[in-house]
Structure 1
Amino acid sequence: METANPATIFARKKVAYACATLCCLLWGSSYPAIKNGYEIFEIATDDIPSKIVFAGYRFLFAGLLLLLFAMAQRKPIARFSPRQYGQLAFLGLTQTSVQYAFFYIGLAFTTGVKGSIMNATGTFFSVLLAHFIYQNDKLSYNKTIGCVLGFAGVMLVNINHSLMDVSFVWMGDGFVVLAAFILSAATLYGKRISQTVDPTVMTGWQLAFGGGVLVVGGYLTGGTLVVHSATAVAILGYLTLLSSIAFALWSVLLKYNRVSMIAPFNFVIPVAGTVLSAIFLGENILDIKYAIALVLVCSGIWWVNKRSA
């Protein structure tokens, strides 16, 4: 077997790093996009079923778009064993349906800035889960420090000016953290499936199936979604493209690279989410605790992926 030379390996890593950064920038932009979507579609804060319908259409369309793209590349999109169909359905149910139900509801009851930082806990959940799943990815001194710093940043976000006043809202902040945990577990499961199923096809099916479940569930519980303007179509279109591009790229990256190689770029998500929420939602990021929390979270992710001497 021919061994790639150092220049080729370096070039591949640069491409992987660029793709990982793009994915995280796109995911970071979803925080203000979703909250703007609630306003544009005139979805009330307590109208949870309509939020689920909104999320469902986003992922259903994203999944169908990816499957069409796979077909254009002449990739088989339906040649699976019964076991693989079951795996794809389970992945769609967990990674898309359940995870995003919690995420969309949670984001409605917290700010975009706070939500983007809270969601960064997913990186640390991935590290902890990988410790128990992969023999070559055990918890180390550096990873332990990183997890402690990251969770310290999340705790800081929930402390008000009075240190005894903790502003943790279970249906908001709690749901965002729970969504991050579910996504971490489902992503590791998806990495396993991608070894036998093309990543683009896998992502397309899991998004389409999971999105379909959300749409049906939202409508059955009384949700609606009315397109009031071209802006509504544009925001849904952006979220659809965001999901299809980011999830497909991330699945490919995870198939061909170790989780610990790609994970450092997750720091882009809370930073992008915080800055873009401030720009497009007018949320306050001047509070010193948000700045310190971002530093702690990003430092934690850096430590998790720092090579031991």
Structure 2
Amino acid sequence: MREQSVKLRTTGHQRVYPRSRRAFRISGPSDERNGARHVQRPAPSRERADTPGCQPCWSARSRPLPCSAPKGNPLLSIWGAGTDRLGRAGTVPLPTALGRVRLHGPADAPVGHLPDLDAGVHRPSAAADSLAAFLTALHRSAPTGAPVGRDRGGPLADRAEQFAKMLASATEPGLVPDPGAVRTVWEDAAAAPDWAGPALWLHGDLHPANVLTADGAFCGVIDFGDLCAGDPACDLAAAWILLPDGAADRFHDAYQPAPDAATLRRARGWAVLRALAGILIADAGVHGRPGGKPTWGPPARTALRRLTAAARR
């Protein structure tokens, strides 16, 4: 008997498995009988996540599955049968194998079908309607004691220093072509009356990396790690960040209750903050700095262009 360790790794579809997705590790040392028992026995409940051999862990792209097997044993079949059985039990949040996995070598093994979740949005009306329906359903009054956003969902005036620092950081290297227009949008938003309604549930982090698309429209929202209560304008900023040109008006018409003028002004301010953050994160990625993501640049620059163009009209 020879102990082998393999890593099951999704490739090419990072957004399907965000950093906040829970993974499960079948841990050793164990023998073949022990591995078979993990596959055959009923899944542990969420309350019993400390069950030996099924320990929750956090993982971004790799799903370690150490186990013992004779040399050449098809470990993928064990993994596939186990996750399928646990998934049917419905008690453990497991990732689904999509696309291809790589077994520490040159060969990939297909394990299922992956729909094109990154095709982009080319059906603006459908995307606007989907986003509006999602936020209409989410934006309900939060109970007393609901978490308050660390830097989102509160008064925009509290973010004035953050805005000034980000604009200066983006202007100095020439990342923002018209900082004056950006400042105009922000000042108008900050001057709008504060939210006077009840604190509503917010996603709090709606940007392109947290939205899935299929068939040219949105099909899912991920990463609820910043779920909080506050001003809905924080989430309504997504109309400028996520939607194609010309779709924001349809989104505002579909969202219920219809946002008033002050809410839309504040939403533009939140959108400016998110766009500036995206531009700076992208620049960090271009220069190889930690946390940088070059792909965040294009949607952030597009959003800022829309916002400043609207301010000039």
> What is the TM-score with the length of structure 2 in the denominator?
0.25
Larger Rg: 2
Higher strand share: 2
Higher helix share: 1
Which one has more relative contact order, counting CA pairs under 8 Å at least 6 apart?
1
> What is the TM-score with the length of structure 1 in the denominator?
0.25
